[in-house]
Structure 1
Amino acid sequence: MSDWKHVIRLADLARGTVSVRLEPDAETLGKLAKELNLEALLAFSGKLTVRPWLDGAEILGRYSARVVQICGVTLDPFEEELEGEIALQVVPPGSPHALIESEGSEISLDLDAPDPPDVLESEEIDLAHYLVEQLVLDLDPFPRKPGVAFDYTPAVTEESPFAVLKTLKGDGE
Structure 2
Amino acid sequence: MRKALDALYNGAAGLAALFLVGLLAMVVLSIVSRQLHFHVPGTDAYAGYLMAASGFLALAHTLKRGEHIRVTLILGALTGPWKKGLELWALGFASALTAMFAYYCCRLAWQSHSFHDISTSSDATALWIPQLGMAVGAVILAIAFVDELVLEITGKRVPYSSAEALRNE
Higher helix share: 2
Higher strand share: 1
Rg bigger for which structure? Answer: 1
Common fold by TM > 0.5? no
TM-score, normalised relative to structure 2: 0.24
TM-score, normalised relative to structure 1: 0.23
